Structure 1
Amino acid sequence: MPIIKHEQFLEAPVEVCFDLARNVDIHTQTTPKTNEKAVGGVTEGLLEQGDMVTWEATHLGVRQRLTAKITHMERPTMFVDCMVKGAFHSFTHTHHFQEVSGGTLMIDRFEYKSPFGLVGVMADKLFLEKYMTNFIISRARELKRIAEGY
């Protein structure tokens, strides 16, 4: 089961970073390459513990839907979203926010399991893990850009 971890420093207060990361409207702004939009559940504003959102996006050339639920939240230092329905067998994405001198250290930990057994494991090694890593890094950089201009 691949685990992707990425750290991004943001020159912004921890509360701002936390709220931007769980804002549905901001999420769509940070994912322009996949054209993500919320089409079900909470479709705007801030996500709270227990909320579900269904995203529609184009990944690897395929238009797809994924529903995630906010399963845990400790404002303003952490929240967790887990896939309820979608292309993965499962995933858990933990978002940590640590106040540091001069700003916030945002730490993404994305743990997932691909579908299709051995074929999925091969897809991870061939392209999926790299694709997901790049997706998470790209979104973190966009959040940094937005937070530092806030």
Structure 2
Amino acid sequence: MSRTYRIHAKQILPVTIGQAWDYFSRAENLPFITPASLALRVTSAPQEGPVYAGQLIEYTIRPLLGIPLYWMTEITHVEHQRFFADEQRFGPYSFWHHQHHFREVSDGVEMTDMVHYRIPLGWLGDLANSLFVARQLKELFSYRSGIIPSVLKELH
């Protein structure tokens, strides 16, 4: 059995809780905060209104050698302007659980991402994680940390 891995990322956003929630709780914004090299596309029909428990979101992503992978996540928990969680239903991981937390602080909003994931294929998945998956996920959150402030400036 493969291991469960964890990623924890935190950053301060110079916006209101409402602005942060409105931006990050909409799947159509994901491509704007994802490195172009991953070629993430949201393929499900756009959802009207705020994120809700039970919402299914479909994507294609190209994490390795440009090969497209299908990914479907379900929003499983929502507490308006506090947190939401998504879990993979179909896709590249044997387990994926991603929590998005938002908390007002003196200089804006503290946004925290907590991801727990497993790679399929036992020890081969663990090897893939050590060779490229963990690095790619860390780079994704590092990219987001760098790009999000400029994306959010456009909200003002």
Identify the match of residue 13 of structure 2 among 10, 13, 16: 10
Partner of 2:73: 68
SS at match of 1:50: coil
* Structure 2 SS opposite 1:57: strand
Is 2:99–2:114's contact at 8 Å kept on the other side of the alignment?
A: yes
Aligned 8 A contact 1:10 1:148 in 2: no
Amino acid at match of 2:24: A
Q: Does 1:117 align with 2:122?
A: yes
Match of 1:49 among 53, 70, 89: 53
* Number of equivalences: 149
Deviation string 1:4-57 (CA, Å, 9 cap, x unpaired) is 0011111001121122112122112222332211112x4355432210011012
Q: Secondary structure at the residue paired with 2:54?
A: coil
Which runs of structure 2 are paired with 1:58-97 in the superposition (5 Å)?
58-61=62-65, 62-97=67-102
Over the aligned positions, Cα root-mean-square deviation in angstroms equals 1.6
TM-score relative to the length of structure 1: 0.91
Alignment partners' CA distance in 2, 1:19 and 1:33: 26
Percent sequence identity over matched residues? 21
Return 5+ residue gaps in structure 2 as ranges.
none
Alpha carbons 2:51, 2:78 under 8 Å: kept: no
Distance 1:43 1:141 in 2: 26
Name the CA distance, whole Å, in 1 between partners of 2:120 and 2:7: 17
Q: Which 5+ residue runs of structure 1 have no aligned equivalent?
A: none
TM normalised by structure 2 equals 0.87
* Contact 1:38–1:55, Cα closer than 8 Å, also in 2: yes
